[in-house]
Amino acid sequence: MRIIGGSCRIWLTALFVFLAAVLSQRAQAERTVTKLADGVYEIRHEPNGNTTVIIGDRQVFVVDTCFLPSAAREDIAQIRQWTDKPVSFVLNTHFHNDHNFGNRIYMDAFPAVTVIAHVETKKEMDLFGPGSARREEQSAIDYQKMLDSGKAPDGSALTDDDRAQLKKAIPRVLARSEELKAVTFQSATLTFDHDFMIDLGHREVQVKFLGRGNTGGDAVVYLPREQIVITGDLVVAPIPYIYDGYPTEWAQTLQNLAQLDADTIVPGHGPVMHDKAQMYLIRDFLQSAVEQMNVKLGQTSPAMFQTLDDVKGSVDLTAFRARFIGDDKDLGDAFDEASAHLVKVVFEEASLR
């Protein structure tokens, strides 16, 4: 079975969820906290999204609330160790539920909290958030079907290792579903469409929409004094998640992001970065795919008259392979999947022209 290399889109497909389930097993031990500045912390919970905690003199601002209610509760307990100030603001960087299903837990703990998202993000959260538990349940059913048929969704035969992973994943996914079922999804309570600033008390937080990218409503959080930027899944390490989104605009949005004066970068997933290399690498990766696709379409005919199979061989992203995976051969499949998805998304984007 081809295992695809990303785990953000827990809500998406059985195959994808399969990997998320497998990764979550080892991820639980991978919760890590990194202090970024006095009163500013990143909490990583791979494979789910990063949470950033920003503490001011009066109030606390939390960026993304993770997926499982139990993880959000653990984060809140941690925040209470850091400060007795209330979490007054939660911001969801985008609609994928591994960044916002924890909203409800924050609202239960801090009833006055305002949950903020870009107007487009709220629309998608309203649509996809409430079905989260049902999708987990469906994943368990799909895994059982794979075991029963001996085949992966792409028709390939399961290996012994695949079987073992699926058998372990099913009870975990069902347990997750039970956990999610116990919580009513909480969407945003305040939307924005461009930018705004909040002073938490000697702590200025700027929230910006710099253009579409990973989704239609990606929010970026910038702390000008601390020179910290929190990117959501516009930037992810080691391999970007590209399962839909807007590649042409995404490259420009990353260019806009790179203009912010920051030396600490919190990606949507992955460790804190201290330079913009990954941001530029993703920008170049997106741009290269778009440019190669445009050359091919220009030489042949518009996308509406072609299929993905007609054109995908003309986009070669192998030059980026070593730059993304370095010496980690285990990331090779994830990179290949990301590349294949990028070409597909770029073609779909071109088809809309």
The residues binding Zn ion (CB under 5 A) are 8, 49, 96, 233, 268
Residues 310 and 300: their CA atoms lie apart, in Å, by 10
* First CA to last CA distance, the chain: 35
Nearer to Zn ion, 8 or 272 (CB): 8
Strands 48-55 and 32-37: unpaired
Strand intervals (E) in the chain: 32-37, 40-45, 48-55, 60-63, 87-91, 114-118, 190-192, 195-199, 204-208, 220-223, 228-230, 264-266
Q: Name the burial class of residue 81, with classes exposed (0-12), middle (13-18) and buried (19+) by CB atoms within 10 angstroms of its CB.
A: exposed
Residues 136 and 222: their CA atoms lie apart, in Å, by 34
Nearer to Zn ion, 49 or 102 (CB): 49
DSSP classification of residue 34: E
Report yes or no: 206 and 221 within 8 Å, Cβ to Cβ.
Answer: yes
Nearer to Zn ion, 170 or 210 (CB): 210
Backbone angles phi, psi at 205, to 5 degrees: -120, 125
Nearer to Zn ion, 266 or 315 (CB): 266
Nearer to Zn ion, 75 or 233 (CB): 233
Peptide bond into 47 cis (omega under 30): yes
Task: Tell me how far, at minimum, the Cβ of 124 lies from Zn ion, in Å.
Answer: 13
Facing residues of 92 across strands? none
Nearer to Zn ion, 98 or 142 (CB): 98
Task: Tell me how far, at minimum, the Cβ of 96 lies from Zn ion, in Å.
Answer: 5
- The full length of the chain comes to 353
Task: Tell me how far, at minimum, the Cβ of 298 lies from Zn ion, in Å.
Answer: 34
Q: What radius of gyration do the chain's Cα atoms show?
A: 20
Which residue of this chain has its Cβ atom nearest to Zn ion in the complex?
A: 8
Task: Tell me how far, at minimum, the Cβ of 161 lies from Zn ion, in Å.
Answer: 26
Task: Tell me how far, at minimum, the Cβ of 236 lies from Zn ion, in Å.
Answer: 7
Nearer to Zn ion, 48 or 59 (CB): 48
Q: Name the burial class of residue 284, with classes exposed (0-12), middle (13-18) and buried (19+) by CB atoms within 10 angstroms of its CB.
A: middle
Task: Tell me how far, at minimum, the Cβ of 92 lies from Zn ion, in Å.
Answer: 11
Backbone angles phi, psi at 191, to 5 degrees: -115, 160
Nearer to Zn ion, 129 or 268 (CB): 268
Task: Tell me how far, at minimum, the Cβ of 8 lies from Zn ion, in Å.
Answer: 3
Task: Tell me how far, at minimum, the Cβ of 44 lies from Zn ion, in Å.
Answer: 12
